[in-house]
Chain A
Amino acid sequence: MTAADQGPLDPAAVAALYEQYADELRRFIAGVLHDATLAQDVVQTAFAKLVEQGGQTRSESRKSWLFRVAFHEALDARRRLGRQDFALRRAAEKGEFDESTLDSASADLVRQESIEAVRRTLTELPPEQQEIVRLRIYEERTFAEIARLLDIPLGTALGRMHLAIKKLRARLPDAARPEP
């Protein structure tokens, strides 16, 4: 760390970092909290800390620093909202995504190019993998339900989803925006 790295960050540098990483960071925290609105609050807190303490970070590791700080903020927020988190986990155990993941806040986190990439990639998947993706994510069925529905072993259902996720993930556009 050089002397130039000490002290508050230049607001323009923070704005550039926000432009570059904020969306991906919101998606990460939304994945942790299952709550896009709360994720937005956490991300804002993390960037506020970046303004205050960013000078103590190395420029090449600021993304990692941001994600780590936001993750701990998310865990704190989840502990503060323990009862709500319990309800979320119970819903997740039943294979239900929380409704908050479907609100407009979460819609802002999904890029149009990602939706299009997913749609294109799905067409290239074998039908049995498409079916698993549809049943698990789109219809929000559990893998146990899917296995029963398709009359296949649970491991087969998981294996097909595993392969589908691998292909879909590979086709997602790069998360971080190019540096301005």
Chain B
Amino acid sequence: MADHQPLDVDWLAFRYVAGEMTDDERDAWEIRLADDQAAREAVAAAYELTQAVAALPPSVWECGSPVAAAPSPLAGRATSAAAPRSSRSPIAWWASAAAALLAAVVGWNVWDRASSPAPSFDANVEPDRELALLWSRTRHSRPGSLIDSTVETPSSDMAEDVGDATTDAADVATLDSPPDDSPDGALDSPAARPLGVAPSWMLSAVSGMVERAGDDRSSDRSTPTGEL
């Protein structure tokens, strides 16, 4: 009589308590209950198990998993027969809120870039000497980092490149205004920036332009005119 696996006993006991058995199954099970103490204890455990789950407060299930604080024995009983609980969990709400906040931040950043006045660059005004030197150096270096380009010796054609630099830098400036929270924002302020020191955002932009220009030139050289 006790040759059944414990797992089978527990499962059968649960099905019995939950009313999942057919009449024939139930009759057979109750014949077994008359003699099998392990089966009787399994019924007691199955009953307590189902009641314990039913006694869990609704808050336990609200996160989609039973992670809430310790429940009260009677907390869940009043609502256990109620309609199915909402499947919308607080985690989903938090995720939605976080996504909305992220979208708002990104949108604000794009709007701010588009609407904030771009640093004007008057071609008639003599550009910062530092920028001119940088431009000259980088144009004649292979495409690479700004640090690499600044260690090169100034070339002799620096003067003729200054004009190009002013035009290109103006284009870059309108594309990449400095972020407000730049750590060196104070230095980027025209009033605070020492004469001859280009703003960091502009140097970065120029560096990028140099790289792109280098790439374009190399591709132009490698591309046969006839194919254009």
Chain A positions within 8 Å of B, measured between CB atoms, are 24-25, 27-28, 30-32, 34, 63-64, 67-68, 71-72, 75, 89, 91-93, 95, 97, 99, 101-102, 104, 106-107, 109-112, 114-119, 122-123, 127, 130, 133-134, 136-140, 143, 161-162, 165-166, 168-169, 172, 175
Contact = CB atoms under 8 A, between A and B. Distances in A.
Contacts of A138: 53-54, 56, 61, 76, 80
Contacts of A25: 44
A97 B37 contact: no
Given A93-B19, A115-B71, A72 B50 contact: no
B34 A166 contact: no
Given A71-B34, A137-B53, A31 B61 contact: no
Interface residues of B, number: 49
Interface stretch (B9-17, B108-116, B199-207): B9-17
A123 B41 contact: no
A127 B65 contact: yes
B194 interface: no
Given A68-B37, A107-B55, A119-B68, 10 more contacts: A28-B47, A64-B37, A97-B19, A102-B77, A109-B48, A110-B51, A115-B73, A165-B46, A169-B42, A175-B41
Given A31-B13, A140-B81, A165-B49, A119 B41 contact: no
A168 B10 CA distance: 10
Contacts of A91: 19
19 contacts: A25-B44, A28-B47, A30-B47, A67-B37, A67-B40, A92-B18, A93-B19, A102-B77, A107-B55, A110-B55, A114-B48, A115-B56, A118-B52, A122-B56, A122-B65, A136-B18, A139-B85, A140-B80, A162-B7
